[in-house]
Amino acid sequence: MRKPKIVVLGAGYGGLMTVTRLQKSLGVNEADIVLVNKNDYHYETTWLHEASAGTLSPDRVRYPVSDVIDKNKVDFVQDSVVEIKTDENTVILENGQADYDYLVVALGGESETFGIKGLKEHAFTISNVNTSRQLREHIEYQFATYHNEEEKKDERLTIVVGGAGFTGIEFLGELTNRVPELCKEFDVDYHKVRIICVEAAPMVLPGFDPELVTYAVSVLEKKGVEFKIGTAIKEATPEGIIVGKGEDEVEEIKAGTVVWAAGVRGNSVIEKSGIEAMRGRVKVDPNLRVPGHENIFVIGDSSLVINEEINRPYPPTAQIAMQQGVTVAKNLSALIRHQEGLESFVFDNKGTVCSLGEDDAIGVVFGKKVKGAKASFMKKMVDNRALFMVGGVGLTLKKGKFKFF
Ligand SMILES: Cc1cc2nc3c(=O)[nH]c(=O)nc-3n(C[C@H](O)[C@H](O)[C@H](O)COP(=O)(O)OP(=O)(O)OC[C@H]3O[C@@H](n4cnc5c(N)ncnc54)[C@H](O)[C@@H]3O)c2cc1C
């Protein structure tokens, strides 16, 4: 008898969680499982701010997909997804195609530039291992070049971070640790360096506890970060950025490095495939399926789940992507075994910890506020837990963070 075929797109948090759960719950004869991913490795997206600032090697944030999949049960295909043909139950890949009975789309998100002029061309993003490597090397290049030009250009030492959300703040925390090292390495006067955070919203870390936000801002300000809050980036240029508080108050900031860390949208494959979405994110049904397509699940940054308590979407996080992976694996097992009743997804928010560099952080964990070294310890525990959930003790020992203080 022909086995049903499950195709999982993306080996990020959501995709790997789905596959590792499926390989545990389904027997070899119950289904064919195929995992498709652009690279032959998984990267910890939640660690990319460290690789981008240069406080962690880019190789530390990734591990081979083959480390966590059971090759007897899962076929791994290294390829890029181009389009999903929902009416033909097939996925077009750059170098072939993959037919499916059940599809899980876990392709993550993409940077959202909200149409701001010049951002795509002139700003760096923290999106994957390669963008992180490029950003780290660009900053180093700016420092290395500074003394080797006849006319010193101080703007080479100015780094602008667009966005004071989670990614922006975590990157700033790492950057403030890295800059003193760069100054020493390249003989640069620390006082010549400017790190500026520009945020259009009236606050830093919207949604976070105000007392913790005050703590985070004061820690980063003490380390030299200048905050421009309630200020929008109007344009990015080869020389820097143009910001404004209103129509009249416009200012040019010359900067050798501009990093855009302010928006996430769903993967462009979704819209290209004609699947209904809002900014590339699919408002999935309670079982995490695409409305009107009972055999297609979407999870992670490309999905949109409403928090009924406040009637707003949950922010895209690794935590939610992993929990969705568990639910989808259960639902797929039930479908394959023709069992009645699929599980509805309910997000169990265990809390959030935002790092402020190697040994500082803020967070709310199981409803309790934490900050400083204690929060930093919690952050490393959270990072290790994600590794453990996907790859058990072996992966945690191989890639985990054990320098707690
Ligand atoms: C700097 C930073 C810090 C963060 N910190 C936290 C945190 O502390 N806690 C938290 O919960 N969340 C955090 N997040 C958010 C979190 O990383 C994302 O929400 C999470 O990675 C989403 O998981 P996912 O499975 O949807 O996608 P991802 O984990 O991004 O995986 C997507 C996978 O799909 C692959 N892929 C993409 N396009 C294609 C294609 N066309 N073809 C083939 N493969 C493709 C990618 O290579 C990748 O392997 C952070 C994000 C950033 C950038």
CA of 262 to the centre of ligand 1 (A): 15
Among 84, 107, 127, name the best residue to mutate to test ligand 1's pocket (greatest count of ligand atoms within 8 A of Cβ).
107
- pLDDT tens digit string along 301-319? 999 999 999 999 999 999 9
Domain with CATH 3.50.50.100 in the chain: 5-111+265-350
CATH 3.50.50.60, the chain: domain bounds: 119-261
Quick count: other Cβ atoms within 10 Å of Cβ 261?
A: 26
Atom of ligand 1 nearest to the CA of 316: 19
Quote the tokens at residue 171.
Answer: 């990157």
Predicted local confidence at residue 404, as pLDDT: 54
Please report the DSSP string for 251-282 in residue order.
Answer: EEEE-SEEEE-S-EEE-HHHHHTT---BTTBE
CA 39 to ligand 1 centroid distance, Å: 13
Return the CATH fold of 5-111+265-350: FAD/NAD(P)-binding domain (3.50.50)
Annotation says 170 is catalytic:
yes
Tell me the whole-structure pTM to 2 decimals: 0.96
Catalytic residue among 44, 50, 110, 170: 170
Which residue's CA is the closest to the ligand 1 atom numbered 5? Answer: 46
User: Whose CA is closest to 208, among 357, 360, 362?
Assistant: 362
Give the Cα separation of 267 and 45 in Å (integer). Answer: 15
Nearest CA to 220 among 356, 126, 352, 354?
Answer: 356
The model's pLDDT over 315-360, given as tens digits with 9 standing for 90+, comes to 999 999 999 999 999 999 999 999 988 999 999 999 999 999 989 9
What's the confidence (pLDDT) of residue 393? 95
From the options 2.40.50.100, 3.50.50.60, 3.40.50.1820, 2.10.109.10, give the CATH code of 119-261. 3.50.50.60
Three state DSSP letters for 302-334: HEECEECCCCEECCCCHHHHHHHHHHHHHHHHH
* Residues framing ligand 1 (Cβ under 6 A): 10-15, 36-39, 42, 45-46, 48-49, 80-81, 106-108, 126, 166-167, 170, 267, 269, 300-301, 316-319, 321
Both tokens of 209, joined, read 């506890």
In angstroms, what CA-CA distances link 283 with 88, 262, 312, 321, 330? 22, 21, 12, 14, 20
C-alpha 45 – ligand 1 centre gap (Å): 5
Question: In the structure encoding, which two tokens stand for residue 19, read together?
Answer: 């596959």
Ligand 1 atom nearest residue 128's Cα: 47
- Cβ distance 290 to 275 under 8 Å? yes
User: What is each CA distance from 100 to 5, 9, 109, 337, 366, in whole angstroms?
Assistant: 5, 11, 23, 17, 39
What parts of the chain have a pLDDT lower than 50? 405
The encoded tokens of residue 134 equal 């490029």
Specify the ligand 1 atom closest to the Cα of 261. Answer: 53
